[in-house]
């Protein structure tokens, strides 16, 4: 694997499979009473979050802690970012602590790529604007693979606001890479022009959603309602809400969270046995452990050393602490 | 009466030069021959074989070089007044001279906006002190470029403005543009338009297409430009006004210009070196040095622009040289400002990417790099005897890496930073004086 995880597009199918297998081995650790391994002992991981986040930041935090890394959480509110420090200067400052990895969430596309130019640490993109959210795609792949056994030929419909969704973009790329047949569906105002070039099909209505093995509903963000992307939440729900009429018993349901109950999903499907939403959250920790492990030991280390900045603790295999 | 360009000619009086060994190429004048060219007192005195060197004349050994009429760029941003940290009249005109230009016109979207006669007059005064090559200034169409009240166009014309533009911003309200075109009958001078419908482009940072779909960056659709060109051409046609379309980027826009010309509208249009040589594919790396407005478009747009430049539907090449401070461009793509520098690289990028591969002939590029002059009342430079000496000497074989020795411009936001180009400007003569000499290009013998 490369030194950084900036985009799911940077991973080969074999890379993705390695991460998913590694996550599987960490899942076994997570089942124990003491969920820690000493793999990253003495190494520092910095969580640098320029946007509000619950799932992603907490699961990265748990992942780093379960790998025994020292963790620093930085949120833009209350930090020097508040005082007008540029991203570049913040990254230079944090790099002076010699972190092994910087996990960054930022409201603008390409921010993680910029950070990787300014630091010797491995950079993990935890969401950059509407661009990508590669660890979300990996945890979704992991969740789905665990449930279905395999991914080749599986039919997934991604439903909702694709235009503003980094989750959709990373998932279209990641799922397609793993042999999944992807259809995106949503209001024509919220489907990016030429999105077919990413290798998916486009549908404007839910007609035909019966063909899907998996329905992946996206969060309908309230701020999109103020524009004229959709006439009203009511109209959106009438056209695109996944409810018990539209979700067949043989179909699985996914959602990246947080859910707007009664908008993109009805309450009964959220609580149905077909919903994998809680499993997705569970997967978040082990998949992010696997990403940190793969980047900070083995391949990622070699790439970092090649850039003349090794000198960090030797990696160890995961073992119960 | 045409407006007058200003520069400081004190240190570069009318030169006496005997340029030997160059291939002279002046497509507009029908000159294409290997010959000597004699400049006396800042004017082209003769072209021919074995010219006698007058006493005191410098012999310029130009063996293997090409001599072109120097270039004219009616669309540059010199960031003065207000952002002299990014560019000033000295650095901007040095960059222009290094790129082979003998005349440029600066855009008025400065701080304050060039929207009153005293600002034009003070800029002209500064140009007479600082500018290395003749420089003109555009004035705004609307006060403060707010798109509402017209500037005092007649007074601005009398103060020496070269035309009117709200460049950087469109004139959103059709009624305001109509009034400007009506008032043009009194003020004269062309009205140059940055065409963009903000209701279509709002929130956009790059061309809308497959790459923006991949990157999740808001798109600026081609129709945000082309629909405004069609609208404004219709208004200009109705009022009998004269408009110039700045930095055409999309194939739909070329069609709109073509239709307007066919309908007899007094309309001209320009295209930039970056739109002729780059596409939105370059944005994949999310480097803010590929962010400009209008944005880099798709390959089929680029092909249409090239053909339109060849056919003359697009009248000339302008760089839209737009310097920005390093910290402004070292931001995520979406928040970084629009614009790239272009004066120092224009010929080399066009030669390397269009002429050398055989896409466009050399004479088309040479002509279109100075054809913008007449649109704004500046005589197109020529090598013909009797004309003021405006000459660019270029080594078409020389290779150089962009930015390797820094830039003459105060800013470094070039889309081609680090790229190796073939063809290098060795010397520029502007308004009769030597304005630029590349470091390695030795000064010839002086008797």
Domain harbouring B34, CATH code: 2.30.40.10
In a domain, B309, yes or no: yes
Q: Say how many domains are in chain B.
A: 2
pLDDT of residue B254: 98
Q: Where are the beta strands (DSSP E) in B181-263?
A: 191-193, 206-207, 219-220, 242-245
Q: Is pLDDT at B427 greater than 80 in this prediction?
A: yes
Residue B9 lies in a domain: no
- Say yes or no to pLDDT of B138 above 50: yes
In a domain, B242, yes or no: yes
In terms of domains, do B196 and B251 share one? Answer: yes
Tens of pLDDT, residue by residue over B174-193, are: 999 999 999 999 999 999 99
Give the pLDDT confidence of B308-356 residue by residue, as tens digits: 999 999 999 999 999 999 999 999 999 999 999 999 999 999 999 999 9
Is 90 exceeded by the pLDDT of residue A76? no
| Partner A contacted by B446 (CB < 8 A) | no
Assign A77 a pLDDT band (cuts: 50, 70, 90): confident
CB B151 within 8 A of CB B164: yes
Q: Both B307 and B285 in a single domain? A: yes
Average pLDDT for A228-249 = 92
Q: Is residue B137 within 8 Å of residue B177, measured between CB atoms? A: no
Rounded to the nearest angstrom, the minimum Cα separation between A307 and chain B is 20
Residues B98 and B113 in one domain: yes
Do B287 and B180 share a structural domain?
Answer: yes
Question: Quick check: A268 pLDDT over 50?
Answer: yes
How do residues A89-132 score in pLDDT, each as one tens digit? 999 999 999 999 999 999 999 999 999 999 999 999 999 999 99
Is residue B446 domain-resident? no
Same domain, B128 and B181: yes
Contacts of B49 (CB under 8 A, 6+ apart): B35, B36
**What does R_g of chain B's alpha carbons equal in angstroms?**
21
Statement: residue B447 has pLDDT above 60: no
From B208, B216, B327, residue closest to A129, measured CB to CB? B216
Q: Residue B264's pLDDT is what?
A: 98
Q: List the single residue in A108, A192, A194 with the smallest CB-CB distance to B332.
A: A108
Ordered by where they begin, the domains of chain A are: 8-132+283-306 (3.40.50.1370), 134-279 (3.40.50.1370)
Contacts of B59 (CB under 8 A, 6+ apart): B17, B18, B20, B53, B444, B445, B446
Rounded mean pLDDT of B362-381? 98
Asked if B213 lies within 8 A of A109 by C-beta distance, the reply is no
Q: Which of B208, B213, B326, B329 to mutate to test the interface with A (most CBs of A within 10 A)?
A: B213
**Domain end call among B322, B353, B375:** B375
What is the band of A224 on the pLDDT scale with cuts at 50, 70, 90?
A: low
Are residue B424 and residue B349 in the same domain, yes or no?
Answer: no
Q: Do B331 and A128 touch (CB under 8 A)?
A: no
- Substitution target from B214, B281, B285, B325 for chain A, most A beta carbons within 10 A: B214
Res. A318: pLDDT tops 50: no
Domain edge (last residue) among B375, B403, B420: B375
Taking the Cβ of residue A86 and every Cβ of chain B, the question of whether any pair is shorter than 8 Å is answered with: yes
**Within a domain: B154:** yes
Tell me what pLDDT residue A223 has. 67
Contacts of B209 in chain A (CB under 8 A): 193-194
**Quick one: B107 and B217 in the same domain?**
yes
> Per DSSP, which regions of B276-419 are E strands?
316-317, 391-401
Say yes or no to pLDDT of A303 above 70: no
Residue A155 is predicted with a pLDDT of 98
Best to test chain B binding among A110, A172, A198, A202 (most B CBs inside 10 Å): A110
Q: What percent of chain B has pLDDT over 90?
A: 96
**B413 in a domain, yes or no?**
yes
Specify if B12 maps to a domain. no
How far apart are the CA of B50 and the nearest CA of chain A, in angstroms?
57
Percent pLDDT > 90 in chain A is 80
Of B88, B134, B89, B83, give the one whose Cα is nearest residue B111. B83
Matching residue, tokens 């060109």: B229
Q: Which of B375, B402, B421 corresponds to the end of one domain?
A: B375
- Say if residue B445's pLDDT is above 50: no
B269-301 pLDDT, tens digit per residue, is 999 999 999 999 999 999 999 999 999 999 999
Assess whether B213 and B353 both reside in one domain. Answer: yes
Quick one: B210 and B115 in the same domain? yes
Instruction: Write the CATH number for B319.
Output: 3.20.20.140
Q: In what order do the strands lie in the sheet with B191-193?
A: B164-165, B191-193, B242-245, B266-271, B316-317
Of the candidates B368, B395, B393, the residue with the CA atom closest to the CA atom of residue B37: B393
Task: Write down the pLDDT at residue A226.
Answer: 63
Pair B189, B57 in one domain: no
Beta carbons of B213 and A193 less than 8 Å apart: yes
Residues spanned by the domain of B63? 17-67+387-437
Q: Which residues of B are known catalytic residues?
A: 320
Look-up: residue for tokens 């629909």? Answer: B227
- Residue A146 pLDDT level (bands cut at 50, 70, 90): very high
* Confidence class for position A299, pLDDT limits 50, 70, 90: low
| Residue A34: band (very low, low, confident or very high) from pLDDT cuts 50, 70, 90 | confident
Q: What percent of chain A has pLDDT over 70?
A: 91
Provide, as residue numbers in chain B, all residues whose Cβ is less than 8 Å from the Cβ of A111.
Answer: 332
Q: Is the CB of B209 less than 8 angstroms away from the CB of A194?
A: yes
Mean predicted confidence (pLDDT) in A194-202: 97
| pLDDT value of position B411 | 97
B196 and B83 in a single domain? The answer is yes
**What is the complex's ipTM, to 2 decimals?**
0.90
């Amino acid at each position: 694997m490369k030194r950084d995880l900036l985009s799911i597009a940077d991973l080969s199918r074999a890379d993705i499979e390695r991460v998913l297998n590694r996550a599987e081995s960490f899942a076994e650790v997570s089942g124990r009473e003491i969920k820690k391994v000493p793999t990253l002992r003495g190494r520092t991981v910095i969580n640098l979050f320029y946007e509000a986040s619950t799932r992603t930041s907490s699961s990265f935090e748990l992942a780093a802690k379960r790998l025994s890394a020292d963790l620093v959480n930085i949120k833009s509110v209350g930090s020097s970012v508040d005082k007008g420090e540029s991203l570049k200067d913040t990254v230079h400052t944090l790099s002076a602590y010699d972190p092994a990895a910087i996990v960054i969430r930022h409201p603008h596309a390409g921010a993680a790529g910029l950070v990787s130019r300014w630091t010797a640490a491995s950079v993990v993109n935890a969401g950059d604007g509407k661009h990508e959210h590669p660890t979300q795609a990996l945890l979704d792949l992991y969740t789905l693979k665990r449930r279905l056994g395999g991914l080749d030929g599986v039919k997934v419909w991604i439903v909702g606001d694709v235009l503003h969704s980094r989750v959709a973009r990373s998932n279209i790329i990641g799922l397609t890479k793993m042999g999944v047949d992807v259809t995106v569906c949503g209001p024509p105002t919220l489907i990016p022009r030429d999105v077919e070039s990413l290798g998916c099909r486009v549908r404007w209505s839910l007609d035909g959603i019966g063909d899907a093995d998996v329905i992946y509903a996206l969060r309908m963000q309230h701020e999109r309602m103020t524009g004229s992307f959709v006439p009203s939440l009511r109209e959106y729900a009438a056209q695109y809400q996944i409810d018990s009429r539209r979700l067949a018993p043989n179909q699985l349901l996914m959602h990246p969270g947080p859910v707007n109950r009664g908008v993109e999903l009805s309450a009964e499907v959220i609580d149905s046995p077909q919903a994998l939403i809680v499993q997705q959250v569970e997967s978040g920790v082990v998949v992010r452990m696997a990403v940190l492990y793969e980047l900070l030991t083995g391949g990622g280390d070699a790439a970092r050393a090649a850039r003349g900045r090794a000198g960090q603790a030797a990696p160890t295999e995961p073992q119960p602490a | 009466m045409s407006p007058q360009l200003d520069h400081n000619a004190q240190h570069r009086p009318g030169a006496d030069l005997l340029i030997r060994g160059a291939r002279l190429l002046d497509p507009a004048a029908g000159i294409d021959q290997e010959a000597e060219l004699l400049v006396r007192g800042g004017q082209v005195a003769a072209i021919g074989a074995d010219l006698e060197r007058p006493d005191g004349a410098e012999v310029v050994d130009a063996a293997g070089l090409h001599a072109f009429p120097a270039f004219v760029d009616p669309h540059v941003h010199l960031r003065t007044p207000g952002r002299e940290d990014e560019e000033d009249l000295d650095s901007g005109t040095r960059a222009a001279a290094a790129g082979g230009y003998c005349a440029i016109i600066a855009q008025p979207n400065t701080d304050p906006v060039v929207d009153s006669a005293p600002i034009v007059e003070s800029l002209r005064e500064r140009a007479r002190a600082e500018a290395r090559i003749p420089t003109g200034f555009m004035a705004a169409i609307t006060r403060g470029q707010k798109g509402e009240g017209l500037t005092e166009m007649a007074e601005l014309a009398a103060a020496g403005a070269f035309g009117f533009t709200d460049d950087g911003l469109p004139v959103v309200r059709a009624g305001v543009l109509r009034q400007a075109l009506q008032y043009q009958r009194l003020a004269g001078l062309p009205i140059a338009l940055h065409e963009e419908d903000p209701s279509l482009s709002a929130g956009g940072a790059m061309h809308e297409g497959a790459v923006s779909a991949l990157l999740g960056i808001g798109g600026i659709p081609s129709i945000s430009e082309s629909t405004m060109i069609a609208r404004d051409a219709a208004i200009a046609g109705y009022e009998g006004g004269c408009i110039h379309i700045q930095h055409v980027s999309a194939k739909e826009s070329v069609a709109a210009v073509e239709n307007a010309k066919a309908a007899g509208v007094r309309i001209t249009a320009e295209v930039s070196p970056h739109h002729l040589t780059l596409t939105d594919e370059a944005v994949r790396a999310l480097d803010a040095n590929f962010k400009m407005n209008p944005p880099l478009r798709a390959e089929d747009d680029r092909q249409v622009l090239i053909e339109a430049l060849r056919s003359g539907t697009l009248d000339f090449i302008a760089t839209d040289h737009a310097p920005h401070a390093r910290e402004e461009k070292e931001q995520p793509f979406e928040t970084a400002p629009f614009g790239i520098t272009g004066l120092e690289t224009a010929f080399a990028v066009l030669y390397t990417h269009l002429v050398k591969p055989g896409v466009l002939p050399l004479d088309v590029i040479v002509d279109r790099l100075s054809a913008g002059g007449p649109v704004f009342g500046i005589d197109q430079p020529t090598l013909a005897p009797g004309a003021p000496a405006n000459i660019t000497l270029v080594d078409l074989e020389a290779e150089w890496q962009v930015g390797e020795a820094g830039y003459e411009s105060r800013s470094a936001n070039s889309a081609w930073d680090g790229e190796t180009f073939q063809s290098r400007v060795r010397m520029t003569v502007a308004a009769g004086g030597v304005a630029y000499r590349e470091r390695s290009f030795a000064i010839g013998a002086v008797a």
